[in-house]
Amino acid sequence: MFAVFEGINGSGKTKHVHLFIKNLKKAGKRVRLYSYPDKKGVYSKILGKFLSMEIELDPTTQFLTFLSDISKDQEKIRKDLDNGYWVIVDRYIPSTVAFQNLPIQRGKDLITGLKLIRPDYICFLNVSPDIAIERMEGKRRYSRFERNEELLMKANLRYKEMAEEDFFGKWVVVDTTKPVEEVEEEIKRRILK
């Protein structure tokens, strides 16, 4: 099983990734976690500088750099799946389409032409940008995307468009304005059924 968690910053994505993994392990599953951008990967330095606003990248370079960060692990993910692991990913291909300034259709077309591994489920944790920003208040450091309500709104709309067409996999949309326990139970029910 290959499940991806997506959502704008402040959607509760990382929290629910770890809750889901805890539930999988309780059920006796072997799990591998991948997270993008990969903070220890070969592209981490350039992506870190871009996200902290130390450097600028044009839209095509942004898109291709984030995509390269993901594609570098394709063989490892394939091996994990072949060896019976549940592969869980905190952000994957849909994030690259949602957050970059490349026109959405161009991004989807580029991805469709590649032989990247498609997840069984894409769990989209949906929350409005104003609530997401409120949740991030008091965070010590903000990345390029975390304080930009307009960009978060655009990314959220792109996620919704991809969810409507089940782009790149089967989408499960979960409202994360509900209490954490309810969201956790809904994710378990809809993905572990």
Count of the separate structural domains present in the chain: 1
Question: Is the confidence at residue 151, as pLDDT, over 80?
Answer: yes
- pLDDT tens figures, 75-114: 999 999 999 999 999 999 999 999 988 899 999 998 988 9
Q: What is the DSSP string of the chain?
A: -EEEEE--TTSSHHHHHHHHHHHHHHTT--EEEEESS-TTSTTHHHHHHHHTTSS---HHHHHHHHHHHHHTTHHHHHHHHHTTPEEEEES-HHHHHHHSSS-HHHHHHHHHTS-PPPPSEEEEEE--HHHHHHHHTT-S---TTTT-HHHHHHHHHHHHHHHHTTTTSEEEEEETTS-HHHHHHHHHHHH--
Position 140 pLDDT exceeds 60 = no
pLDDT per position as a tens digit, 59-73 = 999 999 999 999 999
Which residue range(s) make up the domain with 145?
A: 2-191
**At residue 193, does pLDDT exceed 80?**
no
For residue 129, is pLDDT > 90? no
pLDDT of residue 137: 77
Query: Which CATH number is 131's domain given?
Result: 3.40.50.300
The pLDDT assigned to 20 comes to 97
